Amino acid sequence: MAYSNKVLDHYNNPRNVGALDKHDPQVGTGMVGAPECGDVMKLQVKVNPATGIIEDAKFKTFGCGSAIASSSLATEMLKGKTVDEALEIKNTVIVSELALPPVKIHCSVLAEDAIKAAIADYKKKNSVGNHAAAQVAQ
């Protein structure tokens, strides 16, 4: 299989590899996929609580080159976005940016899922978005 230059670039020089402290309340962690399926992505965001802006993002991925590139690109896209803007990131943007072939589209879907999971974890920790529901319940 031939890889696009962008996939090769992210594979050879992955951006933002690493881990953030998952116990930090400012950090949201998302892990999606399964080893049996051949890919697992862990994506983390660190949010400034005052501004709601994602100040840092890290990833680690077990998967093919396209999965690594998709998550690497996702961390780049996340930085500087607000939490709500991050939720707007669609897998199709990753597909076109990396020129993924049809058989690798699931890699971009996984990256989108990882973003959503990380943000959901952050929101859960900080009860963001749960206030409204809580008030109604009262």
State the catalytic residues.
Answer: 37, 107
Q: How far is the CB of 132 from other proteins (least distance, A)?
A: 26
- The answer to the question of residue 4 lying near other proteins (CB under 8 A) is no
| CA atoms of 93 and 112, how far apart (whole Å) | 10
Q: Rule CB under 8 A: which of 34-53 touch other proteins?
A: 34-42
Nearest to 47 by CA among 60, 29, 35, 33: 29
Looking at this protein, which amino acid is placed at residue 95?
V
Indicate whether 99 belongs to the interface with other proteins (CB under 8 A). Answer: no
Q: CA-to-CA distance for 133 and 83, rounded, in angstroms? A: 19
Query: Judged by CB under 8 A, which of 61, 75, 91, 108 binds other proteins?
Result: 61
Q: Using the rule CB under 8 A, is 95 a contact of other proteins?
A: no
Alpha helix (H) ranges present in 13-129?
65-78, 83-86, 91-98, 105-126
Instruction: Tell me which of 45, 54, 67, 100 binds other proteins, using CB under 8 A.
Output: 67
The answer to the question of residue 63 lying near other proteins (CB under 8 A) is yes
What is the spatial distance between Cα 48 and Cα 64, in angstroms, rounded to a whole number?
32
- Binder to other proteins among 11, 87, 101, 123 (CB under 8 A)? 11
Q: Which strand (E) or helix (H) includes residue 60?
A: strand 54-62
**Which residues are near other proteins by CB under 8 A?**
1, 3, 11, 14, 17, 19, 31-42, 60-65, 67-68, 103, 106, 109-110, 113, 117
